[in-house]
Amino acid sequence: MTQNPKRYTITAALPYTNGPIHIGHLAGVYVPADIYARYLRLTGNDVAFMCGSDEHGVAIPMRAKKEGVSPQDIIDKYHGIIKKSFNDFGISFDNYSRTSAEIHHETASDFFKKLYKDGEFIEEVTEQLYDAEADQFLADRFVVGTCPKCSYEEAYGDQCENCGSSLSGTELINPKSAITGNVPTLKQTKHWFLPLDKYSDFLTEWIVEGHKKDWKPNVYGQVKSWVDDGLKPRAVTRDLDWGIPVPVEGAEGKVLYVWFDAPIGYISATKEWATREGKDWEPYWKDEDTKLVHFIGKDNIVFHCIIFPSMLKAHGDYILPDNVPANEFLNLEGNKLSTSKNWAVWLHEYLEDFPGKEDVLRYTLTANAPESKDNDFTWKDFQARNNNELVAILGNFINRVVVLTHKYYDGIIPEYTGEYEELTQVKHFPAIISSSIERYRFREASQELMNLARLGNQFLQANEPWKKIKEDPETVKGIMYVALQIASAIAVLSEPFLPFTSNKLKGILALDADLSWNDISTKEVLIPAGHKINPGELLFAKIDDKEIQAQLDKLEATKKANEAANKEVVPQKETATFDDFTKLDLRVGTIIEAEKVRKTKKLLKLIVDTGLDQRTIVSGIAESFTPEEIIGKKVTVLANLAPRTIAKVESQGMILMTETPEGKLVFVNPDEDGVNNGETIN
RNA sequence: AGCGAUAUAGCUUAAUUGGUAAAGCACUGGUCUCAUAAGCCAGAAGUUGAAAGUUCAAAUCUUUCUAUCGCCA
């Protein structure tokens, strides 16, 4: 671990510009990163907090093609929305850049050239799938075909979504171009590979041995398993016309792999910032006394812990991350967030729907952050966090103090009389909260802040100034003095979590703007006697059921829209003659046995009594039914379908199915009393 | 598939390296009236995903399951 760093470089994962920012991105990456960055600045550290839009990769041109616009249109649109919403939400990036920026192209190019010159790459000519009509190599998702491992028919060129295998396009059976639908041909192409195997020892020493204790289990576990499995050279270039051109001779029509250029974006963003601020960027990336921390989601672990560090190591000039606190994922109302299905709470929409409530979302996402496992965001929980915690505990405490101060003393802080141990207790909070933040436990840290407000409420309750004001006004002075010190501590310590509220509260208390995190522990007086505070205003307002219902309705409408989109009726196929139809031998059968096919998610192996025989049929229905619930069911069987081996099991027929709008499969079933197995259907 | 992570009270989470399962919210009861029908005090709430094993002792270690997510963008 970097001890006593002179400066911090904090990065937050570059958002991909194929959609706006949603609560999943915020909870996983940007809110924790922002809390960390704000905390460090407040404790007097030199911080560079860097981010930017990731605008390369296959998905951008694919999406552009689909929408009939240029890739540039796509990235400009989303870069604009993303940048503005981050800014309005108070994410305090020192720079938010973009990978289409000239400085980034230059930086990434130079990085590649340095490794190339130093002989850090392996060059290899391989045969890749090529679509002659589109005049394009079919990288990753541009090709679809049958998975060689599980026979799933819609596997992509990089991965099969049914069994999860990592594939390469050339392994696919019956590959088809996702652009034209044509059958691709094989064509030779040259690519550059980073030999990750060369860095295996370095990664073992640095992470597997060096960060066993301080890195999160999900991060550490994944790195260890990759290293233990043996690393392989990884291609860092692609045949594509969107991205950063490979800056060497003979590489026309090739660009850097998006995962090669994207993390370099952190460096480019730092350069851009330093130029603007008149600073030197290099210490932030090259000085051993700099602590580098990458905030990411769990899907990015290998890139930030294996590939990028290997790149940095290969380059030789750069420091390595001190920690990579990857978060898990956030779900929304029980379902996975999905940009394509519009299943999300979009930041730019939230900011419109809930003006002035930036901190409510920040707090909810922090208190319910997916730090150790996937979590669920519900609007009901959002409402409860606001009404029961922010309003009732924190907001209410501040309001009590402010109202009483105006009522008893016309807003002027009274002299401290008596002796209260709460003044000492307050001094402990900076260290308590720091300890949580520095261990990347932001959820816990936010709860400690609430505990400070609880301490305030308990203090008032125990001392009852509203009672004593009549018979013992001198004592009340001391009580209110202490309560005001607590309120001041909250104003400062809430800044990383609730920056808008912190500002508002500092305004109400007319607090010294220079009051820092450590002052809360070291200064005897946070807000002095004789000082006048401003008229109060409520920090938080209750959110009523109507507002929550409106959001739930919005989600319900999305669900309906998705169903409607899925329901689009497939056009009628070409005419079949009666003879065509009679070729099909459709029969009634009964499922007598069912079990899951090992190593697949979707397949069930069924034994069906068809009246003719008992035969094995493999059916892709495991996600809709458990084996137990379908045993004994009467189903429609296509009996004379040519046998086919699926996942090593020979299937002798097909069960006729249809589907609900939600994608649940339903049997086409002849379930009327007195129908016998083997009866033909015509 | 394989690998990794996760599974603890209705909900969100703790449990410092095997030693009395602990908080907040919600709930129930009591109480106060300065405050946003807020607060404060107390209480109830658990077969720690399942099963087996190791041990004087298991949320924690082992084995086998199950479920969810990630490993491509």
In this complex, the nucleotide whose C1' atom is nearest to the CA atom of residue A162 is B1
Length of chain A: 682
Give the closest residue to B37 (Cα–C1′): A392
pLDDT tens string A167-199: 666 777 777 777 677 777 778 888 899 999 999
Does any strand B atom come closer than 7 Å to the Cβ of A221? yes
The tokens of A305 are what?
A: 């812990």
Sign of CA dihedral A155, A158, A162, A165: positive
Q: What is the CA A398 to C1' B46 distance in angstroms?
A: 36
Helices A473-493 and A396-409: crossing angle in degrees, nearest 10, is: 140
Could you check: is the Cβ of residue A243 within 7 Å of any atom of nucleic acid strand B? no
pLDDT of residue A182: 76
Task: Enumerate residues 6+ apart whose C-beta is below 8 A from A253.
Answer: A239, A241
Residue A436 corresponds to which tokens in the numbers above? Answer: 């949580």
**H or E element: which one contains A645?**
strand A644-646
CA distance A363 to A308: 32
Q: Nearest nt to A451, CA vs C1'?
A: B24
Distance in Å from B29's C1' to A453's CA comes to: 25
Whether A437 and A8 have beta carbons less than 8 Å apart is answered as no
The separation, in Å, between residue A378 CA and nucleotide B43 C1' comes to 29
The rounded distance, in Å, linking the Cα atoms of A500 and A50 is 21
C-alpha torsion A89→A90→A93→A95, nearest 10: 70
Sign of the alpha-carbon torsion through A539, A544, A549, A550: negative
Distance CA(A140)–CA(A175), nearest Å, equals 12
Q: Is the CB of A541 under 7 A from strand B?
A: yes
* CA A184/CA A197 separation, integer angstroms: 32
pLDDT score recorded for residue A566: 59
Q: Beta-strand (E) ranges in A415-542?
A: none
What amino acid occupies position A304?
H
Our measurement of CA A654 to C1' B70, in angstroms, reads 33
Question: What dihedral do alpha carbons A72, A75, A81, A87 form, nearest 10°?
Answer: -110
Q: Which residues of chain A have pLDDT under 50?
A: none
As given in the structure block, the two tokens for residue A405 are: 């101060």
State the Cα–Cα distance between residues A123 and A112, nearest whole angstrom.
13
Asked if strand B contacts A442 at the CB level, meaning under 7 A, the answer is: no
ipTM over 0.85: yes
Q: How far is the CA of A232 from the C1' of B63 (A)?
A: 32
Q: Which residue is nearest to nucleotide B71 (CA to C1')?
A: A299
- What is the per-residue pLDDT across A493-512, written as a single tens digit (0 to 9) for each? 999 999 999 999 999 999 98
What residue spans of A143-215 are helical by DSSP H?
200-203
Bases of chain B below 7 A from a protein C-beta are 1-7, 11-14, 24-26, 32-36, 38-41, 68-73
Residue A544, CB, strand B, below 7 Å: no
Contact A193, A260 (CB under 8 A): no
Contact in structure between A600 and A163 (CB atoms under 8 Å): yes
Nucleotide nearest to A221 (CA to C1'): B4
Which residue is the nearest neighbor of B33, CA to C1'? A466
Strand B close residues, chain A 155-174, CB < 7 angstroms: 156, 158-159, 163-166
pLDDT at A645: 65
Structure tokens at A362: 């920040």
Among chain A residues 40-69, those with CB within 7 Å of any atom of strand B: 57-59
Q: What is the pLDDT of residue A672?
A: 62
> What whole-number distance in Å separates Cα of residue A185 and Cα of residue A211?
46
- Tell me, in Å, how far CA of A504 is from C1' of B42? 36
Distance of alpha carbon A504 from alpha carbon A527, whole angstroms: 16
pLDDT of residue A84: 96
pTM exceeds 0.80: yes
Residue A616, pLDDT score:
80
- Whether any strand B atom is under 7 angstroms from the Cβ of A35: the reply reads no
The residue whose CA lies nearest the C1' of nucleotide B6 is A373
Paired residues of A290 in beta bridges? A7
Residue A422 in 3-state DSSP? helix
Close Cβ partners of A222 (under 8 Å, ≥ 6 residues apart)? A301, A302, A305
φ/ψ region of A229 (left if φ > 0, alpha if ψ in -120 to 50, else beta) reads alpha
Q: Which residues contact A505 (CB under 8 A, 6 or more apart)?
A: A398, A487, A490, A491, A494, A511, A539
pLDDT attached to residue A569:
54
pLDDT score for A643:
74
Nucleic strand B contact set for A 593-612 (CB, < 7 Å): 598-601
Beta-carbon count within 10 A of A451 CB: 15
Across all strands, nucleotide nearest A407 (CA–C1')? B34
Q: Which two tokens stand for residue A254?
A: 């090739």
Taken in order A136, A138, A141, A143, is the CA torsion positive or negative? Answer: positive
Q: Are A227 and A209 in contact (CB under 8 A)?
A: no
Residues 362-421 of A, Cβ under 7 A from nucleic strand B: 367-368, 370-376, 381, 384, 388-389, 391-393, 395-396, 399-400, 403-404, 407
Residue numbers 71-100 of A with CB closer than 7 A to any atom of strand B: none
Query: Which of residues 281-300 of A have CB within 7 Å of strand B?
Result: 298-299
Q: Whole-angstrom distance between the N-terminal and C-terminal Cα of chain A?
A: 74
Percent of chain A with pLDDT over 70: 87
Contact present, A79 and A55 (Cβ < 8 Å): yes
